[in-house]
Amino acid sequence: MGQKGSETRDRLLDATQELIETGGYLGAGLNQVVAASGAPRGSLYFHFPDGKDQLVGESVRRAGRVIGGAMDDLAGSSSSVTEFVEGVLRYLGDRLEESGWRKGCPVATVALEMAATSDPLQQACSQVYTDWEAALRTRLEGRPDADDLAVTILALVEGALLLARTHRSREPLSRVSRRIAALLN
């Protein structure tokens, strides 16, 4: 695929991510994706021949990699697990607040709407959560409860994002950050 094709594909994925993060799977109709991306309709079917679920699945995986990359960066610059988790919560809180409380987790809405009815989307969401859990587990290495702590921290972060978005406040993120610090110490 040439540069122009890659750019068009990226625009379609960017538009899809924006639409699913702010309006969920159901708010990301193909007409909306085409309009938001500025890409020709034919490009949508060329790059995503399996349709909307392929497009959304790739968008979810891509967003997962972006947040995973931020987690890797934070892991490299943090001196402790607590500092790492605080950094992740701060990053996600900044992202949420900068979006006007519209962008919480790029996976959660799709997982809630579609995991029970679409195997490809369930698998995409599951893979992203598995990757994030693994990143947490890596930082908890050496602790006998690393597996349980990783899933607990991920669940607390996801819940805090939902509450922060709902209340349009960073307070749930701050409270969860304090509880995670207490749990880790």
pLDDT band at 1 (very low <50, low <70, confident <90, very high): low
Any idea what the CATH number is for the domain that residue 112 is in? 1.10.357.10
Q: How many CB atoms lie within 10 A of CB 69?
A: 11
Radius of gyration of the chain (CA): 17
pLDDT in tens, 157-169: 999 999 999 999 9
Q: Provide the whole-model pTM.
A: 0.92
Sequence-ordered list of residues with C-beta below 8 angstroms from that of 21, at least 6 positions apart, any chain = 63, 99, 102, 103, 104, 106, 109
pLDDT at 3 over 80: no
Cβ distance 114 to 121 under 8 Å?
A: yes
d(CA 170, CA 94): 9
pLDDT band at 4 (very low <50, low <70, confident <90, very high): confident
pLDDT at 5 over 80: no
pLDDT at 104 over 90: no
pLDDT at 125 over 70: yes
Question: How many domains is the chain built from?
Answer: 1
Domain coverage including residue 32: 3-184
Cβ distance 135 to 71 under 8 Å?
A: yes
pLDDT in tens, 59-75: 999 999 999 999 999 99
Two tokens at 96?
């949420």
What is the mean predicted confidence (pLDDT) over 95-106?
93
Cβ distance 121 to 56 under 8 Å?
A: yes
Q: Is the dihedral of CA 66, 151, 126, 160 positive or negative?
A: negative
Question: What does the mean pLDDT of the chain come to?
Answer: 94
Cβ distance 56 to 30 under 8 Å?
A: no
What is the mean predicted confidence (pLDDT) over 117-144?
95
Residue 118: its pLDDT value, please?
A: 95
